Amino acid sequence: MKFGIIVFPGSNCDIDCYHVLKEVLNQETEYVWHDTEDIEDFDCIVLPGGFSYGDYLRCGAVAQFSKVMDSIKVHAAKGKPVIGICNGFQILTEAGLLPGALVRNANLKFICDIAALKIENTETPVTNCYEAGEIIHIPIAHGEGNYVVDEDTLEDMKAHGQILFTYVNNPNGSIVDIAGVCNKEKNIIGLMPHPERASEALLGNTDGLKFFQSIIHHLEEGFSNGK
């Protein structure tokens, strides 16, 4: 099992993700520079948080044209997991791999806080170790985390269980309190909160650990089924 952490110019949560997967959870993990074309070896790709390309034009708008994004589309089409955290989520929506878009927080402020999140669907690669309805506390740090999507798409997402995490106290104006979503096939996941910042007892919070343990569990199940 091998994890690839994509590094764009301006990524700044790549080391945190690497640390949790490699050091805390002992998984084979490598950094992948954004102009890499061959990512065949990786079982799971993580797009970390940060400010890729300085958030120029729109957050994630420029990163969607990186060479590695074409390979990620191929990787995702095979059903392999792709996880976008914060700026990674913004990149996935810009690339059209996830529905909706992330716009300026309703209060116009960059919000750095701990958010209470409710687990809405436990049958996904990133939530299978959580309990349905469980409330977890995960750091958020974003200026553009206000999730918007049109009504028809939202209804379709609800019908397919694509809303994974919701805010207990909506900090940014997101429609129906959405903090994290997935595609219909449930292998492309995006969320604004940072589980990688809440995965070690030393940091005072391990609520995010089950997010990564869920991925490992999901991949192990896939391997045992011969996938």
Q: Any idea which residues carry the catalytic annotation? A: 86, 194, 196
Angle at 15 between CA 185 and CA 37, to 5 degrees: 55
Confirm or reject binding of residue 100 to other proteins (CB under 8 A). Answer: yes
Confirm or reject binding of residue 150 to other proteins (CB under 8 A). Answer: yes
The piece of 58-66, 125-133, 185-193, 197-205 that touches other proteins (CB under 8 A) is 58-66
CA count, 13 A, side-chain hemisphere, 198: 20
Q: What is the DSSP string of 72-133?
A: HHHHHHTT--EEEETHHHHHHHHTTSSSSEEE--TTSS-EEEEEEEEE---SSTTTTTSPTT
Count, residues in the chain: 227
Query: 191, 89 in Cβ contact below 8 A?
Result: yes
Confirm or reject binding of residue 70 to other proteins (CB under 8 A). Answer: no
Contact positions with other proteins (CB under 8 A) in 114-133: none
Residue whose CB is less far from other proteins, 127 or 162: 162
The total of other beta-carbon atoms located within 10 Å of residue 57's CB is 10
- Which one of 11, 93, 187, 205 is in contact with other proteins (CB under 8 A)? 93
Residue whose CB is less far from other proteins, 14 or 94: 94
Confirm or reject binding of residue 41 to other proteins (CB under 8 A). Answer: no
Q: Where does this chain bind other proteins (CB under 8 A)?
A: 57-58, 61-62, 65, 93-94, 100-101, 103-108, 148-150, 173
